[in-house]
């Protein structure tokens, strides 16, 4: 069987910064509450730079990932875009990225798996590569979350930010000895669909003149319930991939989890029993960017030398659907 290795990564976040102090002026909240309960200090927002949209952020992240992989756009044979905030309901954002970058007429698809979207994409790319169908697959996680955020709801608006991250997943060579995506685990349960959702704007409850201004057009979340489930299922998903690959938590060089809340990350760390310096977190700078959070963190960790070729990395994520999953990979 072919191995599938992460050959290059990239990320893009908008320049505009929304701080906790800015949010104090918009809703009844405080820097102290936000930092204590979530770990977030600031987040990046497309506000004022909407012209590039999600597809623009995704394109920038993807360009860097392709370059980092030492490839050119023409080498990419499939684009998998994970997002819940596409530029349009039709067409898929993957088609916009393909066109922007001058990628050929290849397989283009979007995946809707919320915060777990990038890990779903990674798993699909691995399947494409290991079965011999493609050699180089571009996987992107990107969100324009502030476009679905209700800035009158303090329980959610302090959490979300915008951004995109990308990875090129390629067929490994014999010389890539031991590198590659070693195991993935994907799961979900639709019984929890109302815990994190956008009630309006789909084909079941389409926008009308009467409802288009209602809060239902924004994301709704039962944070407390999600918190409990996230800790349990992210840890469970992590154990699944460790078991599949025959590894122990002590083998992991770095856990790069979904960045939803520093308390969730800390609870996960304790469950896995890994030391603090083996868990990567950048939630203070970006907040929760849903499907973008893992690839942004992975790219940052690679570029700053926190992880390097040969590092064993575990990523695990959880989000709306509810869907969750994990991946274990040697860089």
Catalytic residues: 115, 258, 288
Whether omega before 126 lies within 30 degrees of 0, making that bond cis, reads no
| Sole residue written with tokens 């973008």 | 292
Site for ligand UT7 in 258-277 (CB under 6 A): 260-261, 264
Nearer to ligand UT7, 115 or 254 (CB): 115
Applying CB under 6 A, among 54, 158, 181, 292 the residue interacting with ligand UT7 is: 158
Site for ligand UT7 in 294-323 (CB under 6 A): 318-319
Applying CB under 6 A, among 16, 24, 31, 33 the residue interacting with ligand UT7 is: 33
Q: Which two tokens stand for residue 12?
A: 């893009």
Whether omega before 322 lies within 30 degrees of 0, making that bond cis, reads yes
Site for ligand UT7 in 100-129 (CB under 6 A): 115
Please report how close the Cβ of residue 289 comes to ligand UT7 at its closest, in angstroms.
9
Applying CB under 6 A, among 16, 49, 63, 154 the residue interacting with ligand UT7 is: 154
Nearer to ligand UT7, 78 or 260 (CB): 260
Residue nearest to ligand UT7 (CB): 223
| Cβ neighbours around 124 below 10 Å, total | 20
Sort strands 78-82 and 107-111 into parallel, antiparallel or unpaired: parallel
**63 sits near ligand UT7 (criterion: CB under 6 A):** no
Q: Which two tokens stand for residue 137?
A: 């697959």
3-state SS of the chain: helix, strand, coil percent to 5?
A: 40, 25, 35
Q: What is the DSSP string of 238-267?
A: HHHHHHHHT--GGG-SEE----S-HHHHHH
Site for ligand UT7 in 215-254 (CB under 6 A): 223-224, 226-227, 230
C-alpha–C-alpha distance, residues 53 and 57, integer Å: 7
Nearer to ligand UT7, 28 or 210 (CB): 28
Sort strands 136-144 and 162-171 into parallel, antiparallel or unpaired: antiparallel
Nearer to ligand UT7, 207 or 227 (CB): 227
Contact 314, 238 (CB under 8 A): yes
Contact 183, 244 (CB under 8 A): yes
Please report how close the Cβ of residue 155 comes to ligand UT7 at its closest, in angstroms.
4
Given the rule CB under 6 A, which residues bind ligand UT7?
29, 33-34, 37-38, 115, 154-155, 158, 196, 223-224, 226-227, 230, 260-261, 264, 288, 318-319
């Amino acid at each position: 069987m072919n191995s599938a290795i992460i050959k290059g990564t990239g990320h893009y976040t908008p320049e505009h910064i929304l701080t906790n102090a800015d949010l104090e002026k918009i809703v009844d909240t405080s820097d102290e509450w936000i930092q204590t309960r979530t770990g977030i200090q600031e987040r990046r927002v497309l506000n004022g730079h909407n012209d590039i949209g999600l597809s623009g952020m995704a394109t920038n992240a993807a360009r860097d990932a392709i370059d980092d992989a030492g490839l050119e756009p023409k080498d990419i044979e499939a684009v998998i875009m994970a997002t819940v905030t596409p530029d349009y309901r039709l067409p898929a954002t993957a088609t916009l990225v393909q066109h922007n970058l001058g990628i050929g007429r290849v397989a283009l698809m979007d995946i809707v798996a919320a915060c777990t979207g990038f890990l779903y994409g990674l798993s699909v790319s691995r399947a494409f590569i290991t079965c011999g169908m493609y050699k180089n697959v571009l996987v992107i996680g990107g969100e324009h979350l502030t476009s679905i955020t209700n800035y009158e709801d303090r329980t959610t608006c302090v959490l979300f930010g915008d951004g995109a991250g990308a990875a090129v997943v390629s067929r490994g060579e014999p010389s890539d000895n031991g590198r590659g995506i070693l195991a993935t685990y994907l799961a979900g349960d639709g019984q929890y669909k109302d815990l994190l959702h956008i009630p309006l704007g789909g084909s079941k409850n389409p926008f009308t003149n009467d409802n288009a201004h209602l809060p239902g057009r924004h994301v709704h979340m039962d944070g407390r319930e999600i918190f409990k489930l996230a800790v349990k299922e992210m840890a469970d998903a992590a154990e699944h991939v460790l078991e599949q690959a025959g590894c122990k938590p002590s083998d992991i060089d770095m856990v790069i989890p979904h960045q939803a809340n520093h308390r969730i990350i800390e609870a996960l760390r304790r469950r896995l029993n890994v030391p603090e310096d083996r868990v990567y977190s950048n939630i203070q700078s970006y907040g929760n960017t849903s499907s973008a959070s893992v690839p942004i963190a992975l790219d940052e960790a690679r570029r700053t030398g926190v992880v390097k070729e040969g590092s064993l990395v575990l990523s695990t994520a959880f989000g709306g659907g509810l869907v969750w999953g994990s991946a274990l990979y040697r860089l």
